[in-house]
Structure 1
Amino acid sequence: MMTHLHPKTEELINNSSDKERINLLKKPKWIGYTGAKIIHKKLEELRDYPTNLRMPNLLLVGDSNNGKTALLNKFTELNKSFIKEETQELFLPVLMVQSPPEPDEKRFYNAILESLHSPYRSSEKAELRQQRVIHLLNKLNVKLLIIDEIQHVLAGTVSKQRLFLNVLKYLSNELKISLVCSGTREAFNAIQTDPQLANRFEPKVLSKWHNDEEFLRLLASFERILPLKKPSFLIEDSVSKIILSKSEGLLGEVSKILELASIYAIETGVESISKSVLSKIDYTPPSERKKMIFR
């Protein structure tokens, strides 16, 4: 009995080769930690908000690789399109797109149209694309539009930034739906450049992880889903502190460290993560990577 594991993980180990376990480790993992649950609840409130002249919006801010996109992708997955039986209408409660690499109205509409598998012509004017986007989002009863990597707005000139932010305002007003913008801390600056828009967005910060109970709960959750035959005791002080220090408090880095350590543990046959294993994996912390580039 592998009591340290979730029953599904134990079953998987019993029915998988080492290679299959390693392939599984490389796939994205979702842990429903407290902070994520709080933000998901907030997103549900926005999705279900009654139609209003001034809809509430959310700005999700956090460091790069700290789980923002994974959190939003998970929420979008949980809100897939469905057909209402009584009316046979197609409903798409939540739509998520990525902000274009620079503030460009046409490219933004393209991103929406592509995500809806709706063809467009490159010669089509921005106004026509806008009309089609509004028509489609209305027809699909979209209640929440999520725009990831909103800090890309800052890659354009001030006039382009202003135009793009006006597009967001216009869509929110016209569709009477809530917007969720997500990005790095620069995203906050992007929204702040328009005072009217800034007033409409409630900022939520996805903080880095610290050496506390919440971090230990996260590690305990990871241990339940890592397909290793022996317990690793990740919550032990000596192990948890190494993981936190190496990851620099970023969720994506924690996940990568545990992936590499688990692969090493399977390949060497030790089947658990220890201080020794963590010292042998080929991993460079984010700040060290930056130094390497500047060198």
Structure 2
Amino acid sequence: MTAPLFGQPAYEHLSPETRAVVGMNSKVREDWLYQMPFFAYDAMWPIFNEAMFLARQPRLPRPHNLLIEGPTNSGKSALLALIAAALKPGGDHALDHPVPVMLYKCASGVRRDDLVDGFLRGSGLEILPRRRLRAGDLIHYAPIMRLRGPRVVLIDEVHNLFSRAGSKHTVTDTIPTLRDLSMQCQVPLIAAGVKKALYAIQSDPQLENRFTVMRLPPLQSGAPFVRMLMAFERWLPLPEPSQLRQPAFAQYLYDLSGGWIGELKDVLHRGLRYAIQHQTPCLIVDLMQAAGCLSAKERRAVDI
């Protein structure tokens, strides 16, 4: 690492990437926390290992699938991104032979036809018609998908497939599509969603039998949470250390976040923005309170 020029602060509490950001404009600094790489914690590795196990399997007529269940802002999307990166060439946890993988995010209001259209077009097939593809087209293209399609399909926010506003038949319509996607194309599904997805899958005995459900737990208080705070602190572009790991501060942040990574990042981002706007050199509890940092439960109460 290049030594700082005489008279310049070293910012030794920050990561090398973050040191270069401290002197930049407010907008860059305020958004910098969302450039932080994902740090998995111990309880995530069993889920990650199960995903790697599924990825190593040959194509099977009845592939097994995985549902990662957890509340909003629990880190499910980040975990899926980590899994996707691990399956690609050169990943930190890459397999001996890279596995063709597809990551599809179900936006709010998504339909089963959207999933099938995205799956088939995302596979790079050159023989597809220009028209929008529908769920019924899946069986027609399944043979070639077994030869050229992805070996693993990651589906983020899968609960949105079962919760389209105004539809009374979303679950019964979508279940066969997921079943066909997995079995006809012989590809394991690794899906992430909230409890609504779990209830939907459990409503179909055949599909439930093909899914392993693993719940994404929150970080435990104490040492695991403190280690995560230390990682976050290195990505806070502030000139002085915030000492997030101090017991009182750590407990305050745990109470706000509940141990969920997404909640923790949102809380720290709110405090970071306030600190930058008010030219405060570090985060402290009083500043976080002045910034209006609330827990998820408190935010829901305010919304009501």
| Structure 1 and Structure 2 fold alike (TM over 0.5) | yes
Offset, 1:145: 1.0
After superposition, where does 1:227-246 map in structure 2 within 5 Å? 227-246=237-256
> Does the C-alpha gap of structure 1 residues 116 and 242 become closer, same or farther in structure 2, counting only changes over 3 Å?
same
1:147-206: CA deviation from partner (whole Å, max 9, x where unpaired): 222223443767552342122222222222211121101211111001121121111111
1:150 aligns with 2:165: no
217-226 or 94-103: bigger deviation: 94-103
1:61 aligns with 2:66: no
1:74 aligns with 2:86: no
- Partner of residue 281, structure 2: 271
- Partner of residue 191, structure 1: 201
Structure 1: gaps of 5 or more residues: 83-90
> Does the C-alpha gap of structure 1 residues 240 and 195 become closer, same or farther in structure 2, counting only changes over 3 Å?
same
TM-score normalized by structure 1?
0.82
Answer whether contact 1:103 1:161 (CA < 8 A) is retained.
no
- Partner of residue 250, structure 1: 260
Q: Distance in 1 between matches of 2:275 and 2:132?
A: 55
Residue 234 of structure 2 aligns to a residue whose secondary structure is: helix
Aligned residues: 284
> As a proportion of its length, which structure holds more helix?
1
1:222 aligns with 2:232: yes
Residue of structure 1 aligned with 2:184, choices 174, 193, 200 = 174
234-243 or 65-74: bigger deviation: 65-74
Residue of structure 2 aligned with 1:97, choices 101, 104, 109 = 104
- Partner of residue 86, structure 1: none
Offset, 1:238: 0.8
Q: Distance in 2 between matches of 1:136 and 1:234?
A: 53
Residue 60 of structure 1 aligns to a residue whose secondary structure is: strand
1:58-113: CA deviation from partner (whole Å, max 9, x where unpaired): 1100011111112213332444589xxxxxxxx87111223465684423212324
Q: Distance in 1 between matches of 2:233 and 2:130?
A: 49
Identical-residue share of aligned pairs (%): 25
Residue 197 of structure 2 aligns to a residue whose secondary structure is: helix
- Partner of residue 3, structure 1: 12
Q: Distance in 1 between matches of 2:203 and 2:243?
A: 47
Q: Distance in 2 between matches of 1:209 and 1:198?
A: 28
Q: Distance in 1 between matches of 2:134 and 2:175?
A: 19
Answer whether contact 2:139 2:184 (CA < 8 A) is retained.
no
Q: Distance in 1 between matches of 2:109 and 2:11?
A: 50
Q: What RMSD in Å do the two structures reach over aligned CA positions?
A: 3.0
Answer whether contact 1:172 1:178 (CA < 8 A) is retained.
yes
**In structure 2, what residue type is equivalent to 1:244?**
Y
TM-score normalized by structure 2?
0.80
Structure 2: gaps of 5 or more residues: 1-9, 91-97
Q: Distance in 1 between matches of 2:20 and 2:133?
A: 53
Q: Distance in 2 between matches of 1:267 and 1:100?
A: 33
Offset, 1:229: 1.8
1:32 aligns with 2:40: yes
1:283 aligns with 2:290: no
Q: Distance in 1 between matches of 2:284 and 2:244?
A: 8
Runs of 4+ with >6 A deviation: none
Answer whether contact 2:33 2:269 (CA < 8 A) is retained.
yes
Q: Distance in 1 between matches of 2:147 and 2:62?
A: 21
- Partner of residue 137, structure 2: 128
1:106 aligns with 2:122: no
- Partner of residue 6, structure 2: none
Q: Distance in 1 between matches of 2:26 and 2:301?
A: 35
Residue 181 of structure 1 aligns to a residue whose secondary structure is: strand
Q: Distance in 1 between matches of 2:156 and 2:266?
A: 22
148-157 or 203-212: bigger deviation: 148-157
Offset, 1:261: 1.5
Offset, 1:264: 2.4
